[in-house]
Every structure is written in C-alpha cells, then in structure tokens.
Structure 1
Amino acid sequence: MTQFRLTAIFAACLAGSFVFAQSVPELSGPSPDPMEPVPAAPLERFVTDDVRQMRAYPEQPPVIPHSITGYQLSVNANRCMSCHKREHTEGSGAPMISITHYMTREGQMLADVSPRRYFCTQCHVPQADTAPLIENTFTDMSEMGATGAGSE
C-alpha cells in the first residue's frame, strides 16, 4: 500500500512539473534566434601620442599615453618594466616609475619593484578617445575659486 502511495505521489509531481514548465518565460531574450551573430561594438581608439595627460586630482595614477596592446603582464614578465624601471629609463627616455613602487607597505625600500605594485594595469590605464559612460560633473578646486595659502 505504501508503495502505491509513493508511486501516486511521484506521478502527481511529475504531472505537475509538466504543467508548471509550460508557464515558464523564455530566457533567450527578444531575438528569435539566440545563436544569431550580433555585430560587435567598435573598439575604442587609444591615444598614442605619448603626451603626458593632466591628472584630475592629487595622487591620481597617471594614465598610459601609448598603446599597450600585446604587452605581456604576468607573474613571469612585465613589459612595462623594460622601459619604466629605474635601470632602463636612460636608454628608453620613458619616465621612471615612482619610488613608492619600490616600497613595502611599512615604507621600507626594496631593491626591486614591490610585488603589490608589479601589475601596472591595476592602477594605470591607457587613455582612450571615447565618450564618457556617465555624465561627469567633476570641478577642479582652482575652477571653484579656491586659492592657495598666501596668494591673497
């Protein structure tokens, strides 16, 4: 008798799942064919003039004024260091990375770049010529009428 009840309950659940499955909305979106190719958005045009950009606020990491397409940036290699490391700046003409990149969190100097500062693109980004994603209402202090101490 208990086996009959279990079979009946199982059959009822199975039938109920078919009824509820018919009312589930389609998850593939408005397109009739979810596998249809969609044209990709055009890639942004990176600024490659090698001109240093004005920083928007103090302590802002500088933007990268050249293309880094194809640069290897991994645990084993960092292409940025081939020009920006202290030992290579004379030959490359590139600005040296900040001395803070050679310090530990406690302010102790290291002989090589700190592991926490090794992956450049966690702070520095290439400058791209694109429209802003959202409206920017940033106003610099100098534009707000603020003056430095002793400038009166």
Structure 2
Amino acid sequence: MKPLAFLGALTLPVALVAGLAFAQSQVGTAAAVESLRGADPDVDVTTAPVFHQNKQRFVRNYRLQPPLIPHSIDKYQIDMKANECLACHEWRKSGERGAPTLSMTHYQDRDGLQTDTVASRRWFCSQCHVPQADAPALVENLFQSSGQ
C-alpha cells in the first residue's frame, strides 16, 4: 500500500509542473490573437469615443423597438439603489427637464396594474435601451428594417 500512496502524492506536483510548462509554451501563441477590429490584445489602444450625439433621434427599425438613448450614459448609476435616468425621465420630472417621459408600460406591475412609481421589472433601463452611436460594425449585419 505504501508505493501507491507515494504515487498519489507525486501526482499533484507533476500535474502542476506540466501545467506550468504548457502555459509557458502558449506565451508565444497569445501574440497571434487579434480583436475583431484587428488590435493586439496586449497593446493599449487609445481611440476617440465612438459616441456621436445627433440632434435628431434615430428612427426605430421595428414596431415596439425600445428608443435609443441620444446621450452618453457612461457615468450613470443604475443599480439596486439608484437609477439616474429617472432624474429626468420619470413622469414627475420630465416636463421641467424637457426630457421624454417614460412610457406608461414602465409604471405597470406584473399584473398590469398602474402605479405611480417605475415597476421593478423596468428599473434597469440599459437592459432594453442603449445609447445611439455612429460606430463601425464589428461584424456584417444583414438586418433590414420592417419599415422598408
């Protein structure tokens, strides 16, 4: 029984050494990896922001498409405790801020009853709404608007 116990004790160190050797052999291969835009993943790439706010909102491409956000939301806090979107878009404040009011569907609970506060299932705005951006496509997109 002692020889088998000794063999079991050697298995872990041998596996660790083999894993380390494999990882070292892959270092040269990592340089061949490229991003979708062709950048080396190990090089810091400084780019201009792709966000371009348009005076006019983008048209929707299909019925019931959530509107795109015509401004940056990079520093907005949207979590369990706060939602900065509501500072302008909540129905009580949208008039004085000149912002579009949330759809009344955002004020319905899961049973369809209207409330005065945003429903918890509609709390995380960026789950459906994204900032509009004039950015180059990463992959080919063959989508055609239903309005065409």
Tell me whether the two structures share a fold, i.e. TM-score over 0.5: yes
- AA at the equivalent of 1:17: V
Identity of counterpart residues, as a percentage?
A: 37
Which one has the largest radius of gyration? 1
Q: Please state whether the residue corresponding to 1:46 is helix, strand or coil.
A: coil
8 Å Cα contact 1:45/1:129 also seen in 2: yes
> What residue is the counterpart of 2:136 in the other structure?
131
Higher RCO, 1 vs 2 (CA within 8 Å, ≥6 residues apart): 2
Name 1:24's counterpart in structure 2.
Answer: 22
Question: In the alignment, what sits opposite 2:117?
Answer: 112
- Tell me by how many angstroms 1:44 deviates: 3.8
Code of the aligned partner of 2:70: P
Per the alignment, do residues 59 and 93 of structure 1 end up closer, same or farther by CA in structure 2, a change over 3 Å counting?
A: same
Checking the alignment, whether the CA contact within 8 Å between 2:61 and 2:146 is kept in structure 1 is no
Q: Deviations over 1:24-57 (max 9, x none)?
A: 362435358xxxx622352542122352210111
Structure 1 unmatched ranges of 5 or more: 144-152
> Unaligned 5+ residue runs, structure 2?
32-41
Secondary structure of residue in 1 paired with 2:62: coil
> Aligned pairs, how many?
135
The one-letter code sitting in structure 2 at the alignment partner of 1:28 is: V
TM-score (norm 1): 0.72
CA distance in 2, matches of 1:8, 1:142: 73
Q: Secondary structure at the match of 2:126?
A: helix
RMSD: 3.0
Map of 1:71 onto structure 2: 76
Kept in 2: contact 1:72–1:79 (CA 8 A):
yes
Report the 3-state secondary structure (helix = DSSP H, G, I; strand = E; otherwise coil) of the residue aligned with 1:40: coil
